[in-house]
Chains A and B, each alone.
Chain A
Amino acid sequence: MGMNDTNDLRKKNGLMHPSVDKVLVIEGTHAASHAVRLAKVQVIAAYPITPQTGVVEKLSEIVSHRELNAKFIKVESEHSAMACCIGASISGARAFTATSSQGLALMHELLHWAAGSRLPIVMVNVNRAMAPPWSIYVDHNDSLSQRDTGWIQFYAESNQEVLDTVLQAYKIAETVSLPIMINLDAFVLSHTSEPVAIPKQEVVDEFLPERKALFKVDPAEPHAFGALIGPEAYMEMRYKLFQAMEDAREVIRRVDSEYSEKFGRSYGGLVEEYCMEDAEIVLMTSATAVSTARIAVDELRSLGFPVGLMKVRAFRPFPVDEIRELAQRVHKIGVMDRNISFGATGMIYQETKAVLYNASVRPKLFGFIAGLGGRDITPETIKDIYSYLLNHDAPESETIWVGLKSGQEVRPEGGNASSAAFGQNENV
């Protein structure tokens, strides 16, 4: 790659934008920590869990070096981490925590509490498979299991997107009074170094001014928050929460374009499209698998296949309009889920189906399960999926497991099963 190519790439990735202070080659966890510093978070509360630890270690350093004026409460559990964030946020301060997997599950009750209290807390969750059996590797069941708690959920594709999304998240959260979870893939992002543009503080300050809490615990104006409520008003409060999530769609799009103007990087809002002009067959997926899919798409396009890609960046609110619009343009949609809802299907597939049921145009929909517990998703995996989509008029089963090994092939090491192996159930 020549000097000019490198510069083009740097320009394309927004590394040469005037808003850039410096470019650091850092892991995803540290990208999150730098974003917290730039967002001038006032209270951090966190508990260590692999592979999130880089976030809290870097933040400990940042706070102790006084690069950020914040209180960092090193709590005794994730449950307390979220409770501290709730307390800090209801006091009017900007709050942050980070966790993963089991830690997120332990927070479950308080995720409801944060959203129900309408607090703009921002959390980074490093996606890690749920035990048992113990796994520290990526899949998305941890965060997707929290889909009904009232949190906005983003899935990041790169370390740069982690940093950028944390900054966007505070602005969105404080606009719609909802908490936001930014998810990044264990190890693939959390422990992998990439060049990340660190924006200038003054540009961030312009984009994200100090939080002005709409309500807080204030002795000068005493109110009770979260008190007992009867059937006469609970439902209306839930409707308001629902409506805030609906409003968030437009806010997410607006904040992303505002971010693009200031920092030169955009992620399309709720979804991002790749090679969609004249595409007939599209794959929807999320997080780092999108990068891998881009490579597969490039290759298939060069061979003349009409394939495209849609990255699901926001899972909550779900990109309903974007998917219905997509349906009008393509013949087949494949959804690759790095998660499984037992007794149903992959969750993005499930929701996509639900969105399309009442749509005027309904292309054939295929649901693939891949990459659970850190199983590699390679360009070959994705090409196999496109190949399945090209060669089938309809799915042979409701969930199609990709790269599933047979009993004999499942071994602790090696066991390089044929990537074309598709597991199927009878429930077409």
Chain B
Amino acid sequence: MALDSKIPEGPIADKWTNYKNNINLVNPANKRNIDVIVVGTGLAGGSASATLAELGYNVKAFCFQDSPRRAHSIAAQGGINAAKNYQGDGDSTYRLFYDTVKGGDYRSREANVYRLAEVSANIIDQCVAQGVPFAREYGGYLDNRSFGGVLVSRTFYAAGQTGQQLLLGAYSAMNRQIGRGKIKMYNRHEMLDVVVVDGKARGIITRNLITGEIERHSAHAVVLGTGGYGNVFFLSTNAMGSNVTAAWKAHKRGAYFANPCYTQIHPTCIPVSGDHQSKLTLMSESLRNDGRIWVPKRKEDVEAIRSGKLKPKELKEEDRDYYLERRYPAFGNLVPRDVASRAAKERCDAGFGVNATGEAVFLDFASAIQRYGKEQALIHHLDVNDAALVKKLGQEVVKNKYGNLFQMYEKIVDQDPYNTPMMIYPAVHYTMGGIWVDYNLMTTVPGLYCIGEANFSDHGANRLGASALMQGLADGYFVLPYTIGDYLSNDIRTGPISTDSKEFEEAEKGVRDQINHLINNKGTHTVDHFHKKLGKIMWNKVGMARNVQGLTEAIKEIKELRAEFWKDVKVPGTNEEFNDELAKAGRVADYLELGELFAKDALHREESCGGHFREDAVELDGEQKGEAKRDDENFAYVAAWEYKGEPSDAVLHKEDLEFKDIELKQRSYK
């Protein structure tokens, strides 16, 4: 099947408006006869459920958590971008579009990104109307801050809990519709298959996580807003339950999986402390507004700091290497995430890591505390030369901006970041790859939509900070509700979809068979044993720097691990009860397939772009020496993989990326 991205004709700035003017609508009375299933209740799924229900569709929403409010969007910290230009610093829809395409290393679809930038301002208006308490200035107007990879301040925020506040906004909009009976909420339910009837997605199979009951649910269309697959690495900043299962089952039912190798390794996370570690904690990118990243210039100072003989704050300014400021003077500490992560790895690989494991760099707030303290002293007519006072005032400002992050850090590391620099290291955070969708956000299965992080469309090979929240809400509030209507206009006479068909029966049987296999396997190793092994392969061979040998080995090792898993996994208990191990086993089974496709995709893409860094694709000389080398001639396409049984048999389909409005050039932050 040829990929048709269905990008509307016309100039980029008019595409979305023209599209909306020409689609088919469903009249309000007919909407009452149409059911839509939405899986996932994060920013994308939650906002879509609420909006579709407001429009009049009957929504069935599903989440595996005990409440829709707990979806992992809740943990997003730093902010949400919008081209409001409230700061008068030259921002515009075009500039947000441009920054996002460039930030994604020219591997995203122009038309989708422009639409995202276009609706970004509406998101802020909508959220404020819902009562989302964004940070404000003393004049009562909304405050902004800066994020990596851009030269304007367009990020709206609510301290370090922006995701929480936006998700609770979407949750409140859902609650209003649940109260009206327009959304039927199924919490503690996990989607285990998509049901395709006569070529169209018409339902899902779920497992009730409390009772184990396997259920059939039908609808006229199915929407997946099920997030990313970062947990394929075992350790990531994702929640423990975040998984690829819904997306992977959709892939097995015919939805192409695009660019699985595009993964974001976030530069500022709390370093790993030991083998017991179950997850990694992010320290928001917003901290790079005020924190400066450094390692010592000399190895002997590194040794002294590691052994505790030298305190980091005692090291003289001239003995510190602020390597991001040194290498990238134009963007400094605010280079995009992929660039910052690789730079940290480069320093640590060279032996300058500052903790016992050698895998940490400093993020230092001392100069920001000084700067803010002096400003406050001036404002309040106090003595700017009183060092203790200035420090105290500065700490208060920093606490106001990042208090919850500093507290999280202190609880985990047991050090006070107001008085000693934080130690940070890159960790898996976000997946730009995902289910392939067209301009309508529809997958290659008619009637099956995919929104938010779960799809591939807007961030190319690298996502800029504060853009995930923007995309999730754009898809759910402002894009899907239009595009799905055009599709559903053909279903006004269809009537309710029966769950008694052979397709539902077959899908349910498949789900039951897999569960029975897992329960009856009675092997010798736990699910986590396999998950941790997979994570190690992924991190060591498919992580921040990739090469042909490592990737080839990874593919082989994952395949072997998968075979071992099915032979030897041990799942206690039964299906007919709350059984976390059983739920985890199903998720890890899917990760073991995705991981192989991920490595295969990384092996085939013989270029470096965004989060995908190939050691054999590097600039060898000139100003950009050592930087990632993209190959636009051969790889300016989306790699969309079709399922054919084993991941190794997956067939590659290419969607060529055309850049009509932005000139393709090397991404430079120097």
| A and B bind | no
Binding site for A on B (CB under 8 A): none
